[in-house]
Amino acid sequence: MTAQPTVSTLSELADRFALHRAKLFAIAHRTLGSPWSADDALQEVWIRLQRAKTAEIDNLEAWLTTVVSRVCIDMIRQQASRREEHDDLDASLERAVVGAADSTDPAHRAMRSDDLALAMQVVLDTLGPLERLALVLHDVFALSYDDIAPIVERTPVAARQLASRARARVRAVDVTTVRARHEVAIAAFLEAARDGDFARLLQLLDPEIEVRSDPTAVQASSAGAAHGAPLLADRVRGADAVARVFAGRAALTRPVLVGGVPSAAYITSAGVNALYLVGFQAERIVTIDVLANADHLALWTFDRS
């Protein structure tokens, strides 16, 4: 049985893990498409690291990258157990693609990171777990196919093919059109929220919308309710319930771009208090992830939309 780390060793291990947390979170979030799933993946990586024989790990960053990638693969397969990686997904792709982009050499040209993030949000469910990882690790984190091959348990040639298939799909997304539509929808949502226009909010929200908020956001919402903060809870489901959360309570929320993806932020004189990561389906808002924890906020870069 592997000996449990001492307190001092565990503290040192946590510090070393923290150095790589931002990268690991980015890999998991890009691959899984959800900050909550990314958090779950990192928690599993941390558990595995504590159980590992760390003295035998020559390159901790490479080890963590491999482990978080494989955890993501497992999570995707658990979430979509009925889908085989090489299923024919053309019909799903046609529904996801908004317009035709320039397809010159789609198998080998990388997209800008900001465009890739948005395009992957659109077609994520049409990509197999290994395709997602190969594309993210190569095009976002600049790993070579020789380095990616053992992570996805394929040859370097096969790893290149995985990334190429994924890249062709994401390049088929008209990113400019998608970004513009999502920006308009978020602006309309915030305007309707500020005006307390309940009917308009219902038009913009998917009937099955879910809002998830981290504990810091929930606590801040409760404390600021008297000053017009949204009435957040851990989870709020359904368009009617979500409209009640935001109606008349978005005075300090502004559109932003988070890594090139249209989103929103609760901004005061002290800075960004919370980020609202907005997900779409069929042109309606289907998810809003509210992040206010300082550790969460530190993982994101954003610009005014």
Together in a domain, 163 and 188: no
Task: Tell whether 1 is covered by a domain.
Answer: no
Together in a domain, 62 and 91: yes
For the entire predicted model, the pTM comes to 0.81
> What tokens does 36 get?
């909550």
Label residue 101 by pLDDT band (50, 70, 90).
very low
Residue type present at position 137? L
Average pLDDT, the chain: 86
Given this model, what pLDDT does residue 110 score? 60
Together in a domain, 165 and 191: no
Label residue 1 by pLDDT band (50, 70, 90).
very low
Together in a domain, 30 and 167: yes
Label residue 231 by pLDDT band (50, 70, 90).
confident
Answer for the pair 281, 206: CB distance below 8 angstroms, yes or no: yes
Together in a domain, 149 and 214: no
Together in a domain, 180 and 165: no
Given this model, what pLDDT does residue 303 score? 75
Label residue 298 by pLDDT band (50, 70, 90).
confident
Domain range holding 271?
176-304
Q: How far apart are CA 257 and CA 262, in angstroms?
A: 5
Task: Tell whether 2 is covered by a domain.
Answer: no
Answer for the pair 24, 65: CB distance below 8 angstroms, yes or no: yes
| Rounded mean pLDDT, 38-44 | 96
